[in-house]
Amino acid sequence: MKAFIAIVLSLFLYTSTYAQDPQLFENTWYLQKVVIDGETFFPPHNSEVSNVRLEIWEDHFDTVVCAILFGEISNVDNTSITAFAIGATLLDCNLQVNYIFEGIYFGFYGNLPV
């Protein structure tokens, strides 16, 4: 009986330790800034881009400036998201400031053609 209780407690602790925070998937996230090599880039706020959002589901994500960047998620932990099969739509920004920011932000996810 003690062994059974120990196993149940171990499984409970294991699953609660590795369970995802539900708030991660229940919210739409809005980008405040991108910091690359100590340089800070703020998202534009204008007639074309009111905010830059990020939505995360258990197995995929998407984010939007003008185009949509999306990908499949293989792992989420407290400090990072590991994604693969990343792609983007071919929507162009009309305003140059948005186009430049989109290149910086999407480039943050890897070497993507934008």
Look up the CATH number of the domain holding residue 42: 2.40.128.270
Token reading at 24: 């991660």
Its domain, for residue 29, covers 22-108
Per-residue pLDDT tens, the chain, 114 aa: give them: 444 344 444 444 444 444 455 555 667 889 899 888 899 999 999 999 999 998 888 788 899 999 999 988 887 776 666 777 888 898 899 999 999 999 998 887 775 444
Give the pairing of strands 60-64 and 68-76.
antiparallel
Q: Residue 106: which H helix or E strand, with range? A: helix 96-108
What is the model's pLDDT at position 97?
96
Answer yes or no: is 4 within a domain. Answer: no
Token reading at 3: 């062994």
What is the model's pLDDT at position 73?
83
The number of domains in the chain is: 1
Considering the entire predicted model, what is its pTM? Answer: 0.69
* CA distance linking residue 99 with residue 69, whole number of Å: 14
* CA distance linking residue 114 with residue 112, whole number of Å: 6
Q: Write the secondary structure of 55-101 as one string of H (helix), E (strand) and C (coil).
A: EECCCEEEEECCCEEEEEEEEECCCCEEEEEEEECCCCCCCHHHHHH
